[in-house]
Amino acid sequence: MFNITEILESTFRQLIGQLTVFLPNLIQAFIILLVGVVSAKLIRFIMLKVLEKSGVDKLGENLNQISVIKNFGELKISKVSSQIVYFYILMIFITKSSEVLGLKVLTDMVQSMAALIPKLIVAGIMLLIGIYVADALKEIIIKVCKSLNIASG
Protein backbone atom coordinates (compact mmCIF):
# COMPACT_ATOMS: atom_id res chain seq x y z
CA MET A 1 0.00 0.00 0.00
CA PHE A 2 1.22 3.48 -0.91
CA ASN A 3 1.54 6.11 1.67
CA ILE A 4 0.81 9.76 1.07
CA THR A 5 4.49 10.73 0.87
CA GLU A 6 5.16 8.38 -2.01
CA ILE A 7 2.10 9.62 -3.89
CA LEU A 8 3.08 13.27 -3.43
CA GLU A 9 6.69 12.54 -4.36
CA SER A 10 5.62 10.72 -7.53
CA THR A 11 3.23 13.50 -8.50
CA PHE A 12 5.86 16.15 -7.87
CA ARG A 13 8.41 14.27 -10.04
CA GLN A 14 5.90 14.04 -12.88
CA LEU A 15 5.13 17.73 -12.55
CA ILE A 16 8.82 18.67 -12.64
CA GLY A 17 9.34 16.37 -15.64
CA GLN A 18 6.49 17.99 -17.57
CA LEU A 19 7.63 21.46 -16.57
CA THR A 20 11.19 20.84 -17.82
CA VAL A 21 9.73 19.81 -21.18
CA PHE A 22 7.22 22.68 -21.41
CA LEU A 23 9.27 25.58 -20.00
CA PRO A 24 11.79 25.84 -22.88
CA ASN A 25 8.90 25.88 -25.37
CA LEU A 26 7.16 28.58 -23.35
CA ILE A 27 10.30 30.71 -23.27
CA GLN A 28 10.83 30.20 -27.00
CA ALA A 29 7.21 31.15 -27.76
CA PHE A 30 7.53 34.26 -25.59
CA ILE A 31 10.72 35.31 -27.40
CA ILE A 32 9.09 34.75 -30.79
CA LEU A 33 6.10 36.83 -29.72
CA LEU A 34 8.32 39.59 -28.32
CA VAL A 35 10.35 39.74 -31.54
CA GLY A 36 7.06 39.81 -33.47
CA VAL A 37 5.65 42.73 -31.52
CA VAL A 38 8.86 44.75 -31.85
CA SER A 39 9.16 43.92 -35.57
CA ALA A 40 5.51 44.75 -36.26
CA LYS A 41 5.77 48.09 -34.44
CA LEU A 42 8.97 49.00 -36.26
CA ILE A 43 7.57 48.08 -39.66
CA ARG A 44 4.33 49.95 -38.89
CA PHE A 45 6.30 53.08 -37.95
CA ILE A 46 8.52 52.91 -41.05
CA MET A 47 5.56 52.23 -43.35
CA LEU A 48 3.56 55.08 -41.82
CA LYS A 49 6.40 57.56 -42.36
CA VAL A 50 7.07 56.36 -45.93
CA LEU A 51 3.39 56.57 -46.86
CA GLU A 52 3.03 60.02 -45.27
CA LYS A 53 6.08 61.30 -47.17
CA SER A 54 4.85 59.81 -50.45
CA GLY A 55 1.61 61.78 -50.27
CA VAL A 56 -0.79 58.85 -50.14
CA ASP A 57 -2.98 60.77 -47.70
CA LYS A 58 -3.67 63.37 -50.41
CA LEU A 59 -5.53 60.66 -52.33
CA GLY A 60 -7.69 60.09 -49.29
CA GLU A 61 -8.63 63.77 -48.99
CA ASN A 62 -11.29 63.29 -51.67
CA LEU A 63 -12.77 60.48 -49.62
CA ASN A 64 -12.84 62.69 -46.52
CA GLN A 65 -15.14 65.12 -48.36
CA ILE A 66 -17.87 62.47 -48.60
CA SER A 67 -20.53 62.99 -45.93
CA VAL A 68 -20.69 59.32 -44.89
CA ILE A 69 -16.95 59.20 -44.21
CA LYS A 70 -17.00 62.63 -42.53
CA ASN A 71 -19.37 61.18 -39.93
CA PHE A 72 -16.80 58.53 -38.99
CA GLY A 73 -13.92 60.97 -38.76
CA GLU A 74 -10.90 61.66 -40.91
CA LEU A 75 -9.64 58.74 -42.98
CA LYS A 76 -5.87 58.57 -43.42
CA ILE A 77 -4.80 55.90 -45.87
CA SER A 78 -1.30 55.81 -44.40
CA LYS A 79 -2.59 55.00 -40.90
CA VAL A 80 -5.08 52.39 -42.09
CA SER A 81 -2.51 50.66 -44.31
CA SER A 82 0.19 50.61 -41.65
CA GLN A 83 -2.26 49.22 -39.05
CA ILE A 84 -3.33 46.43 -41.41
CA VAL A 85 0.30 45.47 -42.00
CA TYR A 86 0.97 45.65 -38.24
CA PHE A 87 -1.81 43.20 -37.39
CA TYR A 88 -0.92 40.90 -40.27
CA ILE A 89 2.70 40.64 -39.09
CA LEU A 90 1.50 40.15 -35.52
CA MET A 91 -0.72 37.28 -36.64
CA ILE A 92 2.22 35.60 -38.35
CA PHE A 93 4.25 35.68 -35.13
CA ILE A 94 1.27 34.58 -33.01
CA THR A 95 0.90 31.60 -35.35
CA LYS A 96 4.57 30.68 -34.93
CA SER A 97 4.36 31.05 -31.14
CA SER A 98 1.31 28.84 -30.91
CA GLU A 99 3.00 26.24 -33.13
CA VAL A 100 5.95 26.13 -30.71
CA LEU A 101 3.55 25.57 -27.81
CA GLY A 102 1.70 22.89 -29.74
CA LEU A 103 -1.60 24.75 -29.68
CA LYS A 104 -3.02 23.54 -32.98
CA VAL A 105 -6.47 25.03 -32.40
CA LEU A 106 -5.05 28.51 -31.83
CA THR A 107 -2.68 28.13 -34.78
CA ASP A 108 -5.53 27.16 -37.09
CA MET A 109 -7.72 29.99 -35.83
CA VAL A 110 -5.05 32.65 -36.35
CA GLN A 111 -4.19 31.27 -39.79
CA SER A 112 -7.83 31.42 -40.85
CA MET A 113 -8.05 35.00 -39.57
CA ALA A 114 -4.89 35.92 -41.47
CA ALA A 115 -6.37 34.40 -44.63
CA LEU A 116 -9.34 36.77 -44.27
CA ILE A 117 -7.22 39.94 -44.33
CA PRO A 118 -6.77 40.11 -48.14
CA LYS A 119 -10.51 39.54 -48.58
CA LEU A 120 -11.27 42.29 -46.07
CA ILE A 121 -8.93 44.67 -47.89
CA VAL A 122 -10.67 44.01 -51.21
CA ALA A 123 -14.08 44.40 -49.53
CA GLY A 124 -12.96 47.70 -48.00
CA ILE A 125 -11.73 49.00 -51.35
CA MET A 126 -15.00 47.98 -53.01
CA LEU A 127 -16.94 49.69 -50.22
CA LEU A 128 -14.95 52.91 -50.63
CA ILE A 129 -15.49 52.85 -54.40
CA GLY A 130 -19.21 52.29 -53.84
CA ILE A 131 -19.39 55.17 -51.37
CA TYR A 132 -17.48 57.42 -53.78
CA VAL A 133 -19.81 56.53 -56.69
CA ALA A 134 -22.90 57.00 -54.50
CA ASP A 135 -21.66 60.43 -53.40
CA ALA A 136 -20.97 61.42 -57.01
CA LEU A 137 -24.49 60.32 -58.00
CA LYS A 138 -25.91 62.27 -55.06
CA GLU A 139 -24.16 65.42 -56.25
CA ILE A 140 -25.42 64.89 -59.82
CA ILE A 141 -28.99 64.41 -58.60
CA ILE A 142 -28.79 67.53 -56.43
CA LYS A 143 -27.53 69.60 -59.39
CA VAL A 144 -30.24 68.23 -61.69
CA CYS A 145 -32.92 68.96 -59.11
CA LYS A 146 -31.63 72.51 -58.62
CA SER A 147 -31.53 73.13 -62.38
CA LEU A 148 -35.16 71.97 -62.67
CA ASN A 149 -36.20 73.99 -59.58
CA ILE A 150 -37.13 70.84 -57.70
CA ALA A 151 -36.66 70.99 -53.95
CA SER A 152 -34.29 68.35 -52.64
CA GLY A 153 -33.03 67.77 -49.21
**If the chain, 153 residues long, is cut into consecutive pieces of 10 residues, what is the mean pLDDT of each piece?**
77 82 88 96 95 82 72 80 92 91 86 87 88 87 86 66
> Do you know the residue count of the chain?
153
| Among the listed residues 22, 18, 16, 19, the one whose alpha carbon sits nearest the alpha carbon of residue 8 | 16
Q: Is residue 90 within 8 Å of 36, Cβ to Cβ?
A: yes
The pLDDT, as a whole number, for residue 28 is: 93
| DSSP three-state, residue 138 | helix
Q: Give how far the C-alpha of residue 51 lies from the chain's centroid of Cα atoms, to the nearest Å.
A: 18
Q: E strands of 60-118, at which residues? A: none
The pLDDT, as a whole number, for residue 1 is: 54
Q: Is residue 78 within 8 Å of 52, Cβ to Cβ?
A: yes
Task: Say if pTM beats, i.e. exceeds, 0.75.
Answer: no
- The single-letter code of the amino acid at 77 is I
Q: Is residue 81 within 8 Å of 46, Cβ to Cβ?
A: no
| Among the listed residues 117, 110, 46, 107, the one whose alpha carbon sits nearest the alpha carbon of residue 84 | 117
